[in-house]
Structure 1
Amino acid sequence: MRISSVTMFEQSTASMNRQQSDFLKVSQQLASGRRVVNPSDDPQAASRAVGVDQSIAITEQYRDSRISARNSVAQTESILNSVSDAVIRAKELLIQASSDTLSDVDRESVASELKGVYETLIGQANATDGNGRYLFGGYKDNAPPFAKNAAGGVEYNGDANSRQQQVDASRLMPVTENGKTIFQSVPSSASYVAKASPGNEGNVTFSGPNVNDVTHDDYGQGFTIKFNVDPGIEPDSDDSTYTVIGSEGEAITPDGETGTGPFDYTGDGQQLSFGGISITLKGDPADGDEISMARPGTPEQPADLFKTLEAAIGVLENPAQMDTENPAQTDTEKAAMRNTLNSSMRELDNALDNVLTVRASAGARLNELDVIDAVGSNRMMNYTQTLSDLVDLDYVEAISEYSLRQVGMQAAQKTFVDVKGLSLFNYM
């Protein structure tokens, strides 16, 4: 068998190219730090790495989403903290205004500060996030959620939704609250609110109502106390009677009573108990006077923090006028002011409980985000480790391979040089 010079050249060149290719492959691995530089290096590992890369990208997207969600929830919680402080301050002012030692001028000063609290609450209700969107308007971002109407009152123009954000694969989290939930709602445990009819001509005042028995058959409905007074009798007469009427128009028999009858509202007042609640009345009613009681948040007693403050500001800015010729009229106006303040304070208590409940919900979501962040960090570590196991380079093994390939390539080059110099003439 004869071996031509061309064959020897081709075999030597092929050997050098193969050795050089293997050497360059290891060099690329060392330079990139990856064992799988091209999919052909390990098709199965490359395929799995694509899936892990996608999982890492999704996890990073959820992490960025949680950062945005945390900013919105934290801002919501901070504003709710300010709202609760404002409601507490308003309650303090109403307690101050209820004191008999204050003059009308003093009450007007209280009303001025209360108006400042009122305007502050409107500003907080129309707060925006870092992107210029209203926090408490739901999905309506084109106008402030709370605006004053033609009558001077505040009305809600947002929707009843709360913006939500996907913070994890299985968690769609509300990141804001709508204004109706905060400023026009009450918790389910909110206490009854009593209100005197604007047309009352007597001077009956009330305190309460207080809840005695939530299991009572009549508990939960609205009640109205209607006074019946013979116009020809003297005040404090035993001929004064009352009737308790349920929300459906039926007569309610007070606890311990057989029905309506004589009633004395003088002295320290008289307590009425019915439907699982009790209320204390004091003063002299006029015929047809009414005091209504209902659960807040119902059609009979809608919840609205702004309307509560508007009513309180109204009676403090327009104090009872002293009428020496008609003292009864003065007593009627004073009773109306006291009843309005009592109703407003009860409504502020319910509003504060509601704001604190919503704020607690925001705090719980912040804690949940911390937990999801911890889970996401662990998941990211697992994905990173899996990806490293699939495609990352073992430098000790790669350096050994690099040295081996380098020696192999040098040997192939040296052999080619030696073979290239051989000639039969050297042996003749």
Structure 2
Amino acid sequence: MRIQYNQGQFVQNRYNHTNTELNKTLNKLSSGYQINQAADDAAGLTISEKMRGQIRGLEQAAENIQDGISLVNVADSAMGIIQDPNLIRLRELAIQSANDTNTDEDRQKIQTEVDAIIEGIRDIGNNTEFNGMKLLAGTLDKDNNNHNVFSGSLANYVQQVTTTGGVTDVYSYNGKDYASAIIDFSNINSAQDASKLDGKGVYYTCCTCNKAYSIKFVNGTPDTSRLNEENPVMEVDISSITNGTDLVDKIIETAYGQPGYVHDPANQTPPSTATSFVNHYSQLTSDDAKIFIYDNREGYNNEPWPMSGSGVFELNVFGEPAVEPELFFHLKIQLGSNENQNLQISIPNVTVEYLKLDPLKMDTQAQANAALTKLDAVMAKVSKSRSIMGSYANRLEHAYNTASNTGENLTKAESNLRDADMANEITKLNKDQVLLQSSQSMMTQINQMSQSILEILA
């Protein structure tokens, strides 16, 4: 018989281990979590906490989106009131005033109602607010990233115009830098997008004179006669264009008469197939949907263009009226739980001043007819603004559904990782209780055996 080793030590160790496991099981059953402290599952805890941050972020993003939908709906409702009954009533009055059965006194009364309606529209445009922000009286023609947002101009259909006003970009080739303007047409992704360029274009002047070179987009056969004017205009057919890269390739093909042509700045002479347009400062090259318009002479890339009419770059065809920029109220709606997951919302300005609705005279038949023309243009602008609001509302609704579904799926994944399997834990509890009771019984038996040994020794 050995006395250095006591079987009771083994039973005691098993009892302690079972008791520890039993306590862990009780903790999981009482909390509902299988991870109650980092020691339970260090890696699982890290992943779970990250998921929880994402879930809480998505819940807040869903609330943000609902606020955004409410804001857009307020703007749309206000525009709807401007349109109907106000603008429609003004149009009715213009048609009434245009009828010569009315006397001058009748038309004065009509004009009184017209003035009152315009004041009502003025109040709506200037005072429609959401959380203290005036929605319909925006004053900016650029978004929060300083990008041009001229809805009627070329800038609305391109991703990047980096040099409006001056030729201040650089085109690098074989280690040499050249003064350049850059346009990125990456936003052109369909034939419908390309069709919006019809009639629009750009012009630029060289770095040593004021000669203007214009690129104009047309939907059909280009007019080549303007290539030889004092300020040449190169028309580019966009009827078959479906994306920005195709558009850039078409511009270069039209200019040089060769598909896929790349001009070497070191070669001062364009190919024999080139039009007279690519002469002096008007060389073209590309990088996918980005076009470089550059001066193939070195030494001008560090100048602060424009200067005295040289080095000018503008978003309209030279000699043709520039499209008036539209004004907006810009804000970003945070759509997700991470950085830069947002939607830029630009609400068009529909105030009386910007719509140029005042003055609106109907004192004579001629004025009434002119008022009809003006009102049709104003109604078209307001309708376009409402369609923009509708597209924002639809996109926000899709974003809300996405955030809700993503949050739901993340919650399920986090639950699988962190929540306790109650059925499994109850089974373990029963097992540990049986083992604990068995250990207690064995310890009692061992103690009794020890007493018997002591009696023998005595």
* 8 Å contact kept, 1:72–1:175: no
Residue identity opposite 1:97 in structure 2: S
Using structure 2 for the length normalisation, give the TM-score: 0.53
- Deviation per residue, 1:78-105 (Å, 9 max, x gap): 1111011111111111111222122333
- Please say if 1:360 is aligned against 2:387: yes
* 8 Å contact kept, 1:139–1:163: no
* 8 Å contact kept, 2:334–2:343: yes
Structure 2 equivalent of residue 28 of structure 1? 27
Identity of aligned residues (%): 22
* 8 Å contact kept, 2:29–2:425: yes
Q: How far does residue 358 in structure 1 lie from its aligned partner after superposition?
A: 0.7
* 8 Å contact kept, 1:182–1:358: no
Structure 1 equivalent of residue 81 of structure 2? 82
Q: How far does residue 426 in structure 1 lie from its aligned partner after superposition?
A: 4.3
* 8 Å contact kept, 1:69–1:175: no
Indicate which of 298, 304, 324 corresponds to 2:356: 304
Structure 1 equivalent of residue 430 of structure 2? 403
The root-mean-square deviation of aligned C-alpha atoms, in Å, is: 2.8
Tell which deviates more after alignment, 408-417 or 163-172.
Answer: 163-172
- Deviation per residue, 1:376-407 (Å, 9 max, x gap): 22212221222122122222211111111111
Structure 2 equivalent of residue 133 of structure 1? 133
- Please say if 1:349 is aligned against 2:396: no
Residue identity opposite 1:177 in structure 2: I
Q: How far does residue 76 in structure 1 lie from its aligned partner after superposition?
A: 0.7
**2-structure distance, mates of 1:128, 1:103:** 38
Q: How far does residue 375 in structure 1 lie from its aligned partner after superposition?
A: 2.0
**1-structure distance, mates of 2:342, 2:46:** 31
**2-structure distance, mates of 1:388, 1:57:** 14
Q: Structure 1: where are the runs of 5+ without partners?
A: 141-157, 186-302, 317-336
**1-structure distance, mates of 2:444, 2:138:** 81
- Please say if 1:167 is aligned against 2:335: yes
- Deviation per residue, 1:153-193 (Å, 9 max, x gap): xxxxx9744223232466533445142x66566xxxxxxxx
- Deviation per residue, 1:259-306 (Å, 9 max, x gap): xxxxxxxxxxxxxxxxxxxxxxxxxxxxxxxxxxxxxxxxxxxx512x
Could you say what secondary structure the match of 1:177 adopts? strand
Residue identity opposite 1:354 in structure 2: K
Could you say what secondary structure the match of 1:352 adopts? helix
Q: How far does residue 139 in structure 1 lie from its aligned partner after superposition?
A: 7.5
Could you say what secondary structure the match of 1:101 adopts? coil
- Structure possessing the higher radius of gyration over alpha carbons: 1
Structure 1 equivalent of residue 112 of structure 2? 112
Q: Structure 2: where are the runs of 5+ without partners?
A: 141-325
* 8 Å contact kept, 2:138–2:330: yes
Q: Describe the shift of the 1:414–1:99 C-alpha distance in structure 2 as closer, same or farther (beyond 3 A).
A: same
Residue identity opposite 1:114 in structure 2: V
* 8 Å contact kept, 1:53–1:387: yes
* 8 Å contact kept, 2:18–2:432: yes
Using structure 1 for the length normalisation, give the TM-score: 0.56
Q: How far does residue 75 in structure 1 lie from its aligned partner after superposition?
A: 0.6
Q: How far does residue 346 in structure 1 lie from its aligned partner after superposition?
A: 0.6
Structure 1 equivalent of residue 50 of structure 2? 51
